[in-house]
Amino acid sequence: MASAKKSRLNFLATRKRARGVRRFIMFSTLTRMIFLANLLGLIILIAGALTMNQFSRGLIDAKIDNLHSQSRLIANLLGDEATGLGAMAALDEVEARRIVARIEMPDKARIRLYDRNGALVADSDLLDDSVEIGQLDPIASYSEPLEPKEIWWVRLQSWSDEWINDWRVFRKNREEKQRHLERDIKSALLGTTVSGEQYEDKKLIVAVVMPVKRVEDIQGALVFETHDVDTILASQRQGLTPIILIAIIASILSALSLTLFIALPIRRLARAAEQVVRSSDKRDVIPDLSDRRDEIGDLSIVLREMTEGLYTRIDDIAKFAADVAHEIKNPLTSLRSASETLRGSKTAERRNKLIDIIENDVSRMDRLITDISKASRMDAALAKEKAEPLDLYKFLSDITDFYTQTRREVVVDVVQTTEKDQDNPVIIQALENSLGQVLRNLVDNALTFSPDDRTASVRLAFERSANENSDKAIITIDDDGPGIPNDDLEMIFKRFYTQRPKGAAFGDHSGLGLAICRQIMTAHGGTIVASNRKDEAGEIIGARFTLTLPLQISTQDKRKRK
């Protein structure tokens, strides 16, 4: 029972898909689809041309109508000239043969005349006395004359005709239309005209069997037939054969070119992507096909950018993990030292002091882990949030109102210094929650470093970029604090970097706030930089953070650019 269950599970298991980049290019599904798509329409066209030539109704109907007209003229002539004079009409065989012999017959056409008893009276093939004139072969001949060789596509056409004629539908059609001459002559002697396409074995014949009358008295039957339909159709097909061959060669060349310019580049990209998956050191293995102005070139660019982004993300994760391990190790070391010392402490005062250290370290670790969790979830939060158009004046006003209304003791004011412009508002395309987090982090930092003075303030301002082609909005946050050391203007955006003012509690800040701000600004396609404000004497009078964000381009502006 157990073995049966195991075999059933193995049967239901999903089969592993073979690596597509390792199969031969001509066995690729894409290559087969390219060749099939190029050849399918051509095959249908060729088959249609060949089969329609076999049943060329227009030509056959035209032949039947022509034979009808000529047969009627000949039958009337025989009825008037070869049936004697007087009341008793009878077919004059001698006159009938003379009239038939005088008729100029088309090539591969034949006239036969039968009397009222069904006996053959005249046959144009037997009465033909024409002489063929041509040039004699040379007298001296040391070898048998060579037969002229047929052109290879003529032989190919003959072979295809025989092959197609052996199809069941054509065999059935020939069997149904086999010729019964005696039956047709009997019908004509009874006054019925018989016409249509007929077959003698595989040979196509168009024939008309018509009664020969003297007034209403039937004197015989006239058979007018032609064998040139097959020749005409064959010549038409022979004319189509070179064109069909050229079309086949063109389709194959087209399929090969599509394979070379589509399947092979995609194959190269797939192999390169497989190498990227298997190795962590192949950043530039994706081929650069950016010179191609098509979707494959775009795919190459995107894959290269994606690969670079993935490696950058891997490096960032590795550095982030190392930084996290380093930052968590410090409070853990302090906890271990405090806990070991606590066991040997003899006084209550010393134990309480050590317990306070342990509590501070635990709080520091809790805060650090919380900030690390926020930073690690920031990419997912940025991907989920939807960018919306924001009026910068209203957005900054909401930020300043938030600080004014939520702070209990307002010592340092948070104000907006840019006035509202009703005619030309500055609109940006941004993630409202994320951008609000950036501004709150920067304002909180500015409040932390601002002096405890009523004259100090944190000022928010914005303006449109002076460069008309940049389409950027610039936001500045100024404070009246001690500023930032010149060597730290870039370092403050690194993870876990902290440079707090004197008197600030140790461990209250994780050093991730400004790093998160830069991460959010990069996701917006903007920048954030830090600088110092200086007076006329060159002394630092505060810090300034400058944010650059892309403006929302209106439809009217897009039309002007185009």
The residue ranking higher by pLDDT, 152 or 373, is: 373
Q: Which two tokens stand for residue 4?
A: 């049966």
CA 276 – CA 23 distance, rounded (Å): 19
Binned at pLDDT 50, 70 and 90, residue 36 comes out as confident
Contact 295, 269 (CB under 8 A): no
Confidence (pLDDT) at 7: 45
Residue 41 has pLDDT above 50, yes or no: yes
Residue 166 has pLDDT above 80, yes or no: no
Hunting for tokens 């030539």 — which residue is that? 53
Q: What percent of the chain has pLDDT over 90?
A: 5
Alpha carbon of residue 148 to chain centroid: 53
Contact 428, 552 (CB under 8 A): yes
Rounded to an integer, the average pLDDT of 434-456 is 83
Mark 483-520 as b/e (b = at least 16 C-beta within 10 Å). Answer: bbeeeeeeebbebbebeeeeeeeebebbbbbbbbbbbb
Contact 550, 525 (CB under 8 A): yes
The residue ranking higher by pLDDT, 161 or 83, is: 83
Q: Which two tokens stand for residue 62?
A: 């035209």
Confidence (pLDDT) at 511: 66
Rounded to an integer, the average pLDDT of 482-495 is 83
Binned at pLDDT 50, 70 and 90, residue 114 comes out as very high
Confidence (pLDDT) at 431: 83
Q: What percent of the chain has pLDDT over 70?
A: 71
State the helix-helix crossing angle for 152-165 and 168-176, rounded to 10 degrees.
70
Residue 478 has pLDDT above 70, yes or no: yes
Question: How far is residue 47 from each of residues 33, 253, 456, 476, measured CA to CA in Å?
Answer: 20, 21, 91, 75
Q: Which of 13-27, 40-54, 454-468 has the lowest mean pLDDT?
A: 13-27
Q: Which of 36-40, 134-138, 467-471, 477-481 has the lowest mean pLDDT?
A: 134-138
Residue 21 has pLDDT above 50, yes or no: no
Query: What is residue 15's three-state secondary structure?
Result: coil
Residue 5 has pLDDT above 60, yes or no: no
The residue ranking higher by pLDDT, 395 or 411, is: 395
Rounded to an integer, the average pLDDT of 143-163 is 61
Q: Domain 55-125+153-227 is of which CATH architecture?
A: 2-Layer Sandwich (3.30)
Rounded to an integer, the average pLDDT of 11-39 is 57
3-class DSSP string for 410-423: CCCEEEECCCCCCC
Angle, alpha carbons 137-138-140 (nearest 5°):
135
Tell me the pLDDT tens digit for each residue of 275-306: 777 766 666 678 888 787 777 888 888 888 88
Give the pTM: 0.48
Tell me the pLDDT tens digit for each residue of 130-139: 555 666 656 5
Q: Which of 66-80, 178-192, 217-231, 279-293 has the lowest mean pLDDT?
A: 279-293
CATH of domain 282-380: 1.10.287
CATH of domain 385-561: 3.30.565.10
* Residue 529, φ and ψ in degrees, nearest 5: -135, 155
**Single-letter amino acid code for the residue at 265:** P
Residue 59 has pLDDT above 50, yes or no: yes
8-state DSSP, 388: E
CA 228 – CA 60 distance, rounded (Å): 10
CA 444 – CA 294 distance, rounded (Å): 49
How is the chain split into domains, by residue range? 55-125+153-227, 282-380, 385-561
Binned at pLDDT 50, 70 and 90, residue 379 comes out as low
Highest mean pLDDT among 15-29, 316-330, 368-382, 466-480: 466-480
Contact 480, 451 (CB under 8 A): yes
Highest mean pLDDT among 83-92, 386-395, 506-515: 386-395
Which of 485, 496, 500, 484 has its CA nearest to residue 545? Answer: 484
Sheet holding 457-464, edge to edge: 413-416, 457-464, 472-478, 540-550, 527-534
Confidence (pLDDT) at 20: 44
Confidence (pLDDT) at 63: 85
Residue 24 has pLDDT above 70, yes or no: no
Alpha carbon of residue 155 to chain centroid: 42
Contact 520, 437 (CB under 8 A): yes
Residue 142 has pLDDT above 60, yes or no: no
Confidence (pLDDT) at 376: 66
Contact 249, 39 (CB under 8 A): no
Rounded to an integer, the average pLDDT of 537-558 is 77
